[in-house]
Amino acid sequence: MMSATSTLAMTHLVPLAKDLDENKVTPGVLGFIVFAVIGGAVWLLMKSMNKHMRKVDFEEKPGEAAKGDGPAASDRSAPAAPAKGAPAKGAPAKGAPKTT
């Protein structure tokens, strides 16, 4: 059984629904709100990305690579030592057939 408020609401909303074109679908207010929230989120992310990108120093300072302070410089200057028990470079692996 329908209450008085629901009956009153139905009598007022049904004529409004008939005024709308039944073949036309629109996103409505909820679609606009969702689109606006997504747009705002993208704007905030772009603003944050620009702030972080300004902090990045893209130019390499002269002589920085030549110092040899970091691990990258030491990797370039000397080859890495093989792991303990690993075969030397060019040596066949254990159990590999010998080639002549």
pLDDT tens-digit series, residues 55-77 = 988 787 777 665 555 555 444 55
Are 43 and 50 a contacting pair, CB within 8 Å?
Answer: no
DSSP string for residues in 35-56: HHHHHHHHHHHHHHHHHHHHH-
Look at the pTM and tell me if it is higher than 0.85.
Answer: no
d(CA 70, CA 73): 6
pLDDT tens-digit series, residues 1-57 = 567 777 766 676 666 556 667 788 888 999 999 999 999 999 999 999 999 999 988
d(CA 13, CA 10): 5
